[in-house]
A and B are shown apart, each in its own frame.
Chain A
Amino acid sequence: MFYHALQIDEPRCIGCSRCMKICPTEAIRIHGGKASIQEHRCVDCGRCYEVCPAQAIRIKDDDFEDIRQYPHSVALLPAVFMGQFPDDISVSRVYATLRELGFAHVMEVESAAMIYKDAKERYARQHPDVRPLISSFCPAIVRLIQIKYPSLTENVLPIKVPLDLSAMYAVQELVSRGIPRHEIGLFYITPCAAKVAAVKAPVGEEKSLIDGVINMNLLYNRVYKHIKDQGKNHQYPPLSRQRLSADAILSTLTNGERRICTAKRSYAIDGIENVMDFLEKLENDEVEGVEFLELRACDQSCAGALLSVDNRFLCGERMYARARKAAERERNGEMARDREMEQYKDYLIDHAVLDEVQPRSMMVLDPDISKALEKMEKIEQMKVRLPQIDCGVCGAPTCEAFATDVVCRQASLHQCVFYRLHLEQAGKMTLHEGRTNMYAVWGDDRIGGEIEV
């Protein structure tokens, strides 16, 4: 089955159905008073995680202590991690702290941002007939296209993202120093659920190089606490580290890829609903002449990632501030070019191409088109009898989704409260049966008794 990183923590779930209503791919249903995720529809965008009032949605990561299994553990950080910290905590201090916490090596994945750019451009030159090309950067978007816009899968750039490129680089570099591969453990500090899924079940390749993922918010807590515990006068060990260019720092924010791409006409779109609106038009060929699309599931891109600790705009501005500093250093010629990675550039670009992204439509009613047509006729007939107010009391997000579930035998028509009333009036259902059906969806503790006004 399809892997997804978002999981419902059932004991915590209060069955409020906020997640069901907001899910852009209609992947959530309520059964027995608890939310459940239909895995073939989930793209790990995390809108459910954001609206859950009970913190009942988890992102399944790995144990931090796993890093100790490897003498050469590598922390692969997203640039937004640095954007979480207040101004008085420097990037160097965060790097040093990660070393003190047990990582043997620390690197920011955006150090491969320019190699990613070059690999995309090479692919674009080699495939002049495929336009627009859609960035592979946001894994939630890649999955969204696979399940909902199958005709556009061939437009997705089958190019490894900076995370995978930097992982390849880390392995090459450490192995060249004589370190055996099994002593190297690559740990990605993830800002979101979709990146976890991209590591655990990558699209376009068999297996990711990454050995583990750690949620960014949890690592933030560890780092911040360590810095506070050590106090101001703590002497951090000196370390040499890579400095990111301004372009690399900005690449994870909205417009970050677009502003440095060479395409004549391109768009940068953030927010999964905005992306869906646009893809709908693109599929109809209503958008002409567009060459490149940067599409991100989160509002403000990775600054607004699910596991961002701070407000997306504050985080974004800190990244801009860091980029301004980097740009100044570049202007003054103070930026030592990263010769280390430069050395592996050709190797990385040559190994950046993935298999073509394949569709895996969630929408198909039946593989046999005659049966699918029959089901569709039934759904149409059923829909006009349903109240069409999308109240969600049946445990499905819309009347249409409910009708589809019923026809595909994943729900009972008796779950519709309006239809039950019809049956009760017609003497075909007792009050007791009606209540049993209500409990099946919402659990047996929702009827609170008499209310005095």
Chain B
Amino acid sequence: MHQEYTVIEGDFVNAGKASSSVKKTLKQLNVNPQVVKRVVVALYEAEVNAIAHAYGGKVLVDIDPDKIRMVVADKGPGIPDIAWAMQEGHSTARPEVRDMGFGAGMGLPNMQKNVDRLNVTSEVGVGTTVEMEVNFS
């Protein structure tokens, strides 16, 4: 099963639309509630990242009987040093984004904590792609 969502730069009002929709789907599939929670938390972080740091992007979701795969691809400034950004508290967020309560540098570490596989690829000046997988059991 495949789903697609679009996220728009700076549209914090609609942050969480994709993760809420995925949440509903997983509940209908009888996925363990604690697994659903991990998926939703990770996807929400990725959504907010694309809204806050990039110029928007796409969320692609594929659900199989045993796992969910989520790809959040944005067009944006990219991450120069991914290993650095993966550490808690490290953030490249602009001051105005931090003022809104985002950009504490917990995004990528939080995703890492909640998913079974995380792969971040990025090109400076082009964009960032976050791929995440969560097993259902």
* In the complex with contacts A284-B23, A284-B44, A363-B28 CB distance below 8 A: yes
Kindly provide the distance from the CB of A359 to the nearest chain B CB, expressed in whole angstroms: 6
Residues on B with C-beta less than 8 A from A151 are 33-34, 36-37
CB pair A366 B19 closer than 8 Å: no
Other-chain residue from B25, B33, B37, B40 in contact with A376 (beta carbon distance below 8 A): B25
Alpha-carbon distance between A13 and B82 when the two chains are bound, in angstroms: 64
A interface, how many residues as a size bin?
20 to 34
Q: Is A369 an interface residue (CB 8 A)?
A: yes
CB-CB contacts below 8 Å: B34-52 with A: 34, 36-37, 40-41, 44
Which residues of the partner chain A approach B36 to less than 8 Å between Cβ atoms?
Answer: 151
Closest partner residue, chain A, to B24 (CB atom): A363
The verdict on A359 contacting B33 (CB below 8 Å), with A284-B19, A284-B41 known, is yes
B93 interfacial by beta-carbon distance below 8 Å: no
**Could you say which of B16, B20, B29 contacts A372, with CB atoms under 8 Å apart?**
B29
CB closest chain-A residue, reference B42? A285
Complex CA–CA separation, A377 to B40 (angstroms) = 21
| Residues from 104 to 130 in A contacting B, C-beta threshold 8 Å | none
B interface residue count range (under 10 / 10 to 19 / 20 to 34 / 35 or more): 20 to 34
Q: What residues of B have a CB within 8 angstroms of the CB of A284 in the complex?
A: 16, 19-20, 23, 40-41, 44
Closest CB of chain A to B35's CB: distance in Å?
Answer: 9
B30 close to A (CB within 8 Å): yes
Minimum CB–CB distance from A38 to chain B (whole Å) comes to 15
Interface pair B65/A373, CB less than 8 Å apart: yes
The answer to whether A372 and B44 have CB atoms under 8 Å apart is: no
A residues 350-366 with Cβ under 8 Å of B?
A: 359, 361, 363-366
- CB neighbours of B16 from chain A (8 A): 281, 284, 286
User: In the complex, what residues of A have CB within 8 A of residue B20's CB?
Assistant: 280, 284
| B44–A364 touching, CB < 8 Å | no
Q: Mark B1-12, 1 if CB is under 8 A from A, else 0.
A: 100000000000
Closest B residue by C-beta to A364: B30
Q: Say whether B29 contacts A376, CB under 8 Å.
A: yes
B37 interface neighbour in A280, A283, A366, A372, Cβ under 8 Å: A283
Question: Closest approach, in angstroms, between the C-beta of B113 and any C-beta of chain A?
Answer: 12
Q: Mark B51-71, 1 if CB is under 8 A from A, else 0.
A: 000000000000111100000
Query: How near does chain B come to A307, taking the closest CB pair, in angstroms?
Result: 32
CB of A102 within 8 Å of the partner chain: no
Docked pose: A421 CA to B133 CA in angstroms: 44
Shortest beta-carbon distance, B21 to chain A, in Å? 11
A150-B27, A284-B16, A363-B27 known; A369+B136 contact, CB < 8 A = yes
Interface residues of A in 317-374 (CB under 8 A from B): 359, 361, 363-367, 369-370, 372-373
**In the complex, which residue of chain B has the Cβ closest to the Cβ of A152?**
B33
Given contacts A284-B20, A373-B1, A376-B25, contact A366 B40 (CB under 8 A): no
B31 within 8 A of A: yes
Complex interface bits, A146-159 against B, C-beta within 8 A gives 1, otherwise 0:
00001101000000
B90 CB to closest chain A CB (Å) equals: 20
Q: Is the CB of B28 within 8 A of A364?
A: yes
**Cβ–Cβ < 8 Å partners of B136 in chain A:** 369
Tell me, rounded to whole Å, the shortest Cβ–Cβ distance linking B60 to chain A: 15
On whether A369 and B27 interact (CB within 8 A), knowing A151-B33, A284-B19, A286-B44, the answer reads no
Min C-beta distance of A145 to chain B, whole Å: 11
* Contact of A373 with B27 in the complex, beta carbons under 8 Å: no
Chain A min CB distance to B99 (Å): 17
Looking at the assembled complex, report how far the CB atom of A132 sits from the nearest CB atom of chain B, in whole angstroms.
14
Residues of chain B contacted by A366 (CB below 8 angstroms): 30
Contact, CB under 8 Å: A283 / B30: no
Q: When A and B form their complex, which 4 residue pairs have the shortest distance between CB atoms, in order from nearest? A: A151-B33, A364-B30, A150-B33, A363-B27
Jot down 5 A-B pairs with beta carbons below 8 A, ordered by A. A151-B33, A283-B40, A369-B65, A376-B1, A376-B25
16 extra A-B contacts, CB within 8 A, seeds A363-B28, A373-B63: A150-B33, A151-B36, A283-B40, A284-B20, A285-B37, A285-B41, A286-B44, A359-B33, A361-B27, A363-B24, A364-B28, A369-B65, A370-B65, A372-B29, A376-B25, A380-B1
